[in-house]
Structure 1
Amino acid sequence: MLVLVFGLVGPVLVTAIYRFVPPPITWLMVQRVFEGKGFDRRWRSIDDISPRLVRAVIAAEDAKFCEHNGFDLDAMEKAFESNAKGKKLRGGSTISQQTAKNVFLWPGRSYVRKGLEAYFTVLIEVIWGKPRIMEVYLNSIEWGPGIYGAEAAAQTNFGVSAAQLSPAQAARLAAILPSPLKWQAAQPGPYVKRRSGKITRAAGTINREGMASCVLG
């Protein structure tokens, strides 16, 4: 009975608390500290983060963020087909899934973790809603060695606050998200420059078509 209570009620309670309280340090942050990569995280409200970064991240990571309920089935199917053909490993995770994984779970790959990721994804979609999911995501994701969240990333790379990011700066930050320990936003190589250019154009479409309205209104 205790296992049932803690296993089912516990996650719901913690998720409800995090609806209002900034989630503390994550498993990945702890791992990086032990790897000697340091720790820089400065929590900011979604209102204090540039809408340009919100649109750039949606364009880069999850164009259907405002449409789905946590899972993009089309993207998951394409990822499965791509991986089955032996092509470069590709993921189909939404921003909601990435947020659930980053905040509640440990790094790694396993069926158990994927199951828990799905469970927490449903919880945050129901309890938090899209604006809070985006707020937690932008304050928790890794943006370089020991750098977490939009404010630390903006200050470290460009010397400005997250609220003052230009379209180009926002696109560069979004461009390095798949490999933040490998790529740099401040001094981008050819690939990041090309990718950030595509993200800038896609973010324009996101803006014109209101595809970030669930966050930005």
Structure 2
Amino acid sequence: MAVPLGAPALERGRSRTWRRADADSAQRAKFGGQRCSPVHETGTIDGSRSQRLNLRGSQLRGPESVAFDGAGAGPYSGVSHGRVLKWNGRALSWSTYAYSRGYSAKNCTASRVRPAELSESKCGRPLGLRFHYGSGDLYIADAYKGLMRFGPGGGQATVLLATKADGVPLRFTNGVDVNQVTGEVSFTGSSMNYQRSQQHERVTATGDSTGRLMK
């Protein structure tokens, strides 16, 4: 609707309102009736305010994955020599939360003469971590020991959920996720041919395509 230049300000205001309404209607028609919100620029992250949570022990390696429990506590991190650690704040630092069968500080702690890679296959190497918030259970994808479940409070693994799938052993279990509604657990294996210890680079170097997604 055209408005003469001499029209009252009220009429000109109505015209602008109608034009905006027509534009909104056209936009909703284009996107299936949904009105699109304008995109706003987000601020940048100030990296100088980040905190570094140092691990105890010069030979300790990690994390591959971190998780927070249902109460927001943590982070929890899997590290070399088979343990899962929990961050308790700067006053208390890290503490052992969970460990796999076969773990012992004497045989699994790395040193300059015994790198963690030499004991990983026996002591385990937790890679993927995920809590089921409803039960408090922690699920761990261990590179060597397969899929494990720890009850609330952690401790030694008492439930070994999977060491093979479709009759094929899990050689390089890697990631895990939990559907918080259904409790269904999904996990991945990086390779059916290579293990993590001293062979993980072969997965990409050889173009290995035997990785699997399982549940």
Taking structure 2 as the reference length, what is the TM-score of the superposition?
0.26
Larger Rg: 2
Counting strand residues as a fraction of each chain, which structure ranks higher?
Answer: 2
Q: Which has the higher helix share?
A: 1
- Larger RCO of the pair (alpha carbons < 8 Å, separation 6+): 1
